[in-house]
Structure 1
Amino acid sequence: MAPGTRIVSLGHYQPARVVTNAELESLVETNDEWIRSRVGIETRRIAGPDETVDEMAAQAAEKALAASGLGANEIDLVLVATCTGLDRSPSMSARVAARLGLSAPALLDINVACAGFTHALAVADHSIRAQSATNALVIAAEKMSDVTDWTDRNTCVLVGDGAGAAVVTASDKAQIGPVHWGSVPQMSTAVRIEVGRAADGTPDRTAPICFAQDGQTVYRWATTQLPAIARRACERGGVAPEDLAAVVFHQANLRIIEPLAARLGAVNAVVARDVVESGNTSAASIPLAFSKLVERGEIPSGAPVLLFGFGGNLSYAGQVVRCP
């Protein structure tokens, strides 16, 4: 087995259209102060009608691949984390591989909603260390605007679209720590993207697929249960929270991110707050925020960073990585 793996490079992509809180006031009963005070979001990026999940994924992946120094023919594993791919087949990973001109990679889509990227990163780490792959593209891309009810003020103010990607390769020294992952299946319906239901509870196939959540349930779970789980991810990575250079949580809500960082004890860490300008981009939020921090030079190369995803299914996954 390979001794370890590392993230070589990152890339991200966001649509051009910026939607402000003021613009949402014309759609639902809301206002800028209400949105900022409850979730901390000021703007979000929304994809155009013809801008697809795989197109955004490929844009982010191209940037990560270009920064890695590897050729497209050297990628032998493509993992795409998404919960907003509307087609069942071909997979998003197949569509992205075709867009990038890859030759014969193994392909896998991973749907763990908001924790998708950290799950996919763990799968890439395991695959390379087991010598089932050599170089992996790990991508998360979401078009949340496709599954949003724009008349529901509790959810439409949250969402954004975008993608982030990482190139992962073998390393003489482990720079991606062991994953700590799990879920609360009994509470999995607290966050959902599903078709509407008829009066008898059966699926209504004529209804649109929509994102919905029990916001208070998610908030209580995240703020009370996740600090201990995040600390366990740090322990598995051999890094104390106070020694972290950065913390990149799923960008769900600023009212969750800031208390979680404080209760974790990451007192010296840069805390990603990309949710303020990008909204909640589900699986894409962690690589998107991480890539921006690295691009801006806010994290030193080689410094320890906690990546921690949580949300849909009430799943979670986190690992300490070294900054590329």
Structure 2
Amino acid sequence: MAERAIAPLLARHGTGLLEQVDVLIVHTQLPDTWFAGSGSEVAARFGITPEWLIDLSNGGCASFVHALKLARQILQSPTARSALIVTVTNTAGQIFAQPGVRASPQGAIPGDGAGVAWLTKSDRSPILDIEIRHLPEFAGEMTTVSDPPRRYWEPGVGEHHLGFTEANVATVLERGNRIVPQVVRAVCERIAVAPSELDLLVTNQPNRRFLENWHEALALPAGRHPDTFDECGNLFGSAMPVTFDQAVSAGLVGEGSVVMFAGFAHTGEFAGAAAVCWGGRQG
């Protein structure tokens, strides 16, 4: 999926793009091998040897914002020229397609996909501001369960799936409805742009209810909050780059538009928002 996601970039900019990559940040929802993340394999498949190679484990559905902040910081190094951010979502076909899980309500929502973003150093960064909040008090609330109970590495029968109950779904809904608008407003205040004046809001895509609640809370018209949920389902960490790419292709993002990327991870232990002044698709 990562190779397919980068193909349009290479078609527009040429394979010379890869020769300039000094920073590779990869978020993989479910790494294929134990211990090691997927960053090194992605680098090998892209044919690059970046000086900075980061497997970004935390950040979940908002990992794209987290990666933007890391990339911006690293690109301040005098030797770094450009960065690739790669997000891979791959649990729909591996976890949620299991026969027992597939029949559950949570089995109908996830989708698989990947997104790639290329950042280059310039005299004036298009990234206007970023707000990152780690909320460790909520860590560990999202668990995996099986019947009969076992750890994921232990042999046995019973399919693993996410351990959501009606009670914690309600808690996460309240928390997500609150923290995503909070980080958006924090960025908007610093860049002196009212949330209702944003040209585009691009979020993770957990479900239809979150999407409606977020743009309503920010007094933003639904047409400026595009989504891919009906087409792709919940793409988790890949939702932001995939949704933004579709919005650009559909002509929804003009040059000079202020775009806000925002979302939260898992049960709320991470939230982030990043405002970008879009300079137009190059190439």
Calculate the TM-score normalised by the size of structure 1: 0.74
CA deviation vs aligned residue, 1:31-90 (integer Å, no higher than 9, x gap): xxxxxxxxxxxxxxxxxxxxxxxxx11221232344345531111111111221131354
Q: Is 2:145–2:162's contact at 8 Å kept on the other side of the alignment? A: no
Identify if the C-alpha distance between structure 1 residues 209 and 198 changes in structure 2 by more than 3 Å, giving closer, same or farther: closer
Q: 2:202 pairs with 243, 248, 252, which one?
A: 248
Looking at structure 1, the residues matched to 210 and 178 of structure 2 have their Cα atoms a distance apart, in angstroms, of 10
The answer on 1:276 being equivalent to 2:221 is no
Q: Is 2:114–2:238's contact at 8 Å kept on the other side of the alignment? A: yes
The answer on 1:77 being equivalent to 2:23 is yes
Identify if the C-alpha distance between structure 1 residues 187 and 248 changes in structure 2 by more than 3 Å, giving closer, same or farther: same
The aligned counterpart of 2:272 is 317
Q: CA deviation at 1:197?
A: 8.4
The aligned counterpart of 2:142 is 191
The answer on 1:62 being equivalent to 2:11 is no
Looking at structure 1, the residues matched to 117 and 171 of structure 2 have their Cα atoms a distance apart, in angstroms, of 32
Please list, as runs of the form range in 1=range in 2, the aligned pairs for 1:1-324 lying within 5 A after superposition. Answer: 56-68=1-13, 70-111=16-57, 112-131=59-78, 133-145=80-92, 146-148=94-96, 150-152=99-101, 153-192=104-143, 194=144, 196=146, 205-206=154-155, 209-213=160-164, 214-267=168-221, 270-312=224-266, 314=268, 315-323=270-278, 324=280
Q: CA deviation at 1:138?
A: 0.6
Q: CA deviation at 1:273?
A: 1.6
Q: CA deviation at 1:308?
A: 0.5
Looking at structure 1, the residues matched to 238 and 214 of structure 2 have their Cα atoms a distance apart, in angstroms, of 19
Looking at structure 2, the residues matched to 195 and 236 of structure 1 have their Cα atoms a distance apart, in angstroms, of 42
Looking at structure 2, the residues matched to 269 and 131 of structure 1 have their Cα atoms a distance apart, in angstroms, of 40
**Amino acid across the alignment from 1:137:** L
Q: Is 2:201–2:226's contact at 8 Å kept on the other side of the alignment? A: yes
Secondary structure, counterpart of 1:99 in structure 2? helix
Looking at structure 1, the residues matched to 222 and 235 of structure 2 have their Cα atoms a distance apart, in angstroms, of 26
Identify if the C-alpha distance between structure 1 residues 202 and 100 changes in structure 2 by more than 3 Å, giving closer, same or farther: closer
Identify if the C-alpha distance between structure 1 residues 98 and 222 changes in structure 2 by more than 3 Å, giving closer, same or farther: same
Looking at structure 2, the residues matched to 237 and 279 of structure 1 have their Cα atoms a distance apart, in angstroms, of 32
Looking at structure 2, the residues matched to 271 and 230 of structure 1 have their Cα atoms a distance apart, in angstroms, of 13
CA deviation vs aligned residue, 1:148-169 (integer Å, no higher than 9, x gap): 2553423101100000111001
- Give the unaligned 5+ runs of structure 2: none
Secondary structure, counterpart of 1:189 in structure 2? coil
Looking at structure 1, the residues matched to 124 and 136 of structure 2 have their Cα atoms a distance apart, in angstroms, of 35
**Amino acid across the alignment from 2:262:** F
C-alpha RMSD of the superposition = 2.4
Q: Which is further off, 62-71 or 166-175?
A: 62-71
Looking at structure 1, the residues matched to 227 and 119 of structure 2 have their Cα atoms a distance apart, in angstroms, of 24
Calculate the TM-score normalised by the size of structure 2: 0.84
Looking at structure 1, the residues matched to 179 and 49 of structure 2 have their Cα atoms a distance apart, in angstroms, of 43
**Amino acid across the alignment from 1:67:** R
Looking at structure 1, the residues matched to 179 and 119 of structure 2 have their Cα atoms a distance apart, in angstroms, of 30
**Amino acid across the alignment from 1:218:** V
Q: Which is further off, 179-188 or 285-294?
A: 179-188
**Amino acid across the alignment from 1:185:** P
Secondary structure, counterpart of 1:290 in structure 2? helix
**Amino acid across the alignment from 1:108:** I
Secondary structure, counterpart of 2:261 in structure 1? strand
Q: CA deviation at 1:115?
A: 1.2
Give the total of aligned pairs.
267
Secondary structure, counterpart of 2:54 in structure 1? strand
Q: Is 1:115–1:310's contact at 8 Å kept on the other side of the alignment? A: yes
**Amino acid across the alignment from 2:76:** R
Q: CA deviation at 1:94?
A: 1.2
CA deviation vs aligned residue, 1:121-165 (integer Å, no higher than 9, x gap): 111111112335210011111112223255342310110000011
Q: Percent identity of the aligned residues?
A: 25
Q: Is 2:40–2:53's contact at 8 Å kept on the other side of the alignment? A: yes
